[in-house]
Amino acid sequence: MLSRLMSEPGAPGKPDFSPVLAADAVPAPSESRWVELAAMMARAVRRQCPAWLADQAQDIAQAALAKVVALDKTAEGKRPFTTFYLHKVAHSALVDEIRRRKRRQEVSLEAPAEGEEETRPFEPKAHGDPESHASYRQLGLAIRACLAAANRDRRLALVLFLQGHSVPEAARILGWDVKRTENLVYRGLADLRQCLLNKGHRP
């Protein structure tokens, strides 16, 4: 049933994933509800799907919808599905697929969209010679060790900062005011530099 719901007009039918997706496994809700859900899920996947993975979007949407079906069955059809929830499930399915490909070192045969190559979420950030890669990996491990030993609040602020968030972003995520977060990042960076020097690393 899901395959039928997810198929684009004119697209060849896809086999069902597993027995749980078979038509008789889908609980009470009306067909129209599932048609609507399938369309919403497809939109949610497309909205977040990197261009290089677009050819897999339909399969990923099916996998995501499978999860929704299973949950709906557990809840006996009484669970409301919000748009946010569908985006969350779609995101999770996309992340699973990206990480699965990364583990398998798969490379798409299709050329990515313009600008996409440089921002593939799973692309390693640097490809220097093995020796230099090893050296900054060592630095990365040292950073993690220093963070693990740091004061918790400084650690939280600094982790987000090192993940690329600005101070205001980090403040909003952590539920603190910007000034406090800025102070924590500033002090956290100072601690981190000293810790790295103690471990023999140049920050």
Q: Which of residues 19-58 bind another protein (CB under 8 A)?
A: 44, 47-48, 50
Of 22, 23, 39, 111, the one binding another protein (CB under 8 A) is 111
The residue among 8 and 129 lying less far from another protein, judged by its C-beta, is: 129
* Binding-residue pattern over the window 165 to 184 for another protein, x denoting contact by CB under 8 A: xxxxx--xxxx------x--
**Site for another protein (CB under 8 A): which residue of 11, 107, 109, 148?**
148
**Beta carbon of residue 28, minimum distance to another protein (angstroms, whole number):** 23
Asked whether position 13 contacts another protein by CB under 8 A, the answer is: no
Q: Which one of 12, 30, 118, 200 is in contact with another protein (CB under 8 A)?
A: 118
Contacts of 12 (CB under 8 A, 6+ apart): none
| Torsion, Cα of 97, 103, 104, 105 (10° steps) | 100
Out of 78, 79, 99, 180, the residue judged to bind another protein by CB under 8 A: 99
